[in-house]
Amino acid sequence: MPAPALTLESLNAMAPEAFVAALGEVFEHAAWVAEAAAPGRPYATVAALHEAMIRAVRTAPPDRQQAFIAGHPELGSRFMRADWTDASQAEQGSLGLDRLSADEFAAFTRMNEAYRTKFGVPFIICVRRHTRDSLLTQFERRLANDSAAERERTLTEIGLITRLRLNALVDGPGRPITEGRLSTHVLDMVTGRPAAGIPVTLHEIGATARGLIAQALTNADGRTDRPLIAGEPLRIGTYELTFRVGDYYGGAGTPFLDVVPIRFAIAEPEAHYHVPLLMTPWSYTTYRGS
């Protein structure tokens, strides 16, 4: 996550027009949201600023709210439509939705159409909290909602999307509003010490594919120098950590344990998942730590 270009302090001090220009695109094509938030300045935290903007959306007249929702791009569109905002493009790209196969594109198109037919607006979701598999699951679940529940869900997702945009744009107290983190720790129970030099990889396990997300070596403290994922939401999905422990214990012959795979699901994108490995040459324990 690159350093934000703006500070909360400067936003609090700007002329209203500059404030709206700076934040206008946080909410898709809806400069009126920033306009509504301008008089409430100064904000003590980025979170408070975000809350004020969300309140503007939630209390807008129905027509305006509807038009605002309708103005979002459709998920999975492979055409670079000129009227997309830059932020929206980057978010969809991070999931690889612009590289869908023909079949997958067809599936997303069908879903999008079914959704638009039922609700009259595009399907809106904070894609940075999802893997491709959990996105499809969400699509199916939300298609079953009634209009009121789905409107509520849509506003929640808009809150999640714009919270991340605002965090990326503005520095100041209350930023980041909690983000997810995935970390590990390897302890060698033969020596009672952290295990250094263990190669660790993290893969996302999709229904049909497996993608490498991170790789690292454990350091002298048995941890990776940086968390395996940090500073952004964890994508809901299934993951596999692998620890290559065979060389660590060395010795002649084939070790009983060489690659230790640990497969687990992430369900809370903003939580801290700590997944340690307590190992010997013949056993291991893993758990969700804290």
DSSP 64-81: HHHHHHHTSPPTT--S--
Stretch that binds its own copies, among 57-65, 101-109, 110-118, 248-256 (CB under 8 A): 248-256
Rank residues 123 and 284 by Cβ distance to its own copies and give the closer one.
284
Smallest CA-to-CA distance from 113 within 151, 75, 64, 154 is with 75
Are 105 and 153 contacting, i.e. CB atoms less than 8 angstroms apart? no
Rank residues 14 and 216 by Cβ distance to its own copies and give the closer one.
216
Sheet containing strand 277-280, strands side by side: 193-194, 186-188, 277-280
Rank residues 58 and 263 by Cβ distance to its own copies and give the closer one.
263
Q: DSSP 3-state assignment of 119?
A: helix
- From residue 166, give the alpha-carbon distance in Å to each of 159, 169, 210, 257, 259: 10, 5, 31, 46, 41
- 287 belongs to the binding site for its own copies (CB under 8 A): yes
Restricting to residues 181-240, which ones interact with its own copies according to CB under 8 A? Answer: 185, 187, 189-194, 221-222, 236, 238, 240
- 256 belongs to the binding site for its own copies (CB under 8 A): yes
- 283 belongs to the binding site for its own copies (CB under 8 A): yes
- 280 belongs to the binding site for its own copies (CB under 8 A): yes
Single residue of 58, 81, 110, 263 touching its own copies by CB under 8 A: 263
Rank residues 147 and 283 by Cβ distance to its own copies and give the closer one.
283
- How far is Cα 189 from Cα 229, in angstroms, rounded to an integer? 26
- How far is Cα 121 from Cα 154, in angstroms, rounded to an integer? 10
- 143 belongs to the binding site for its own copies (CB under 8 A): no
Binding site residues, its own copies, CB under 8 A? 185, 187, 189-194, 221-222, 236, 238, 240, 253-261, 263-265, 267, 278, 280-290
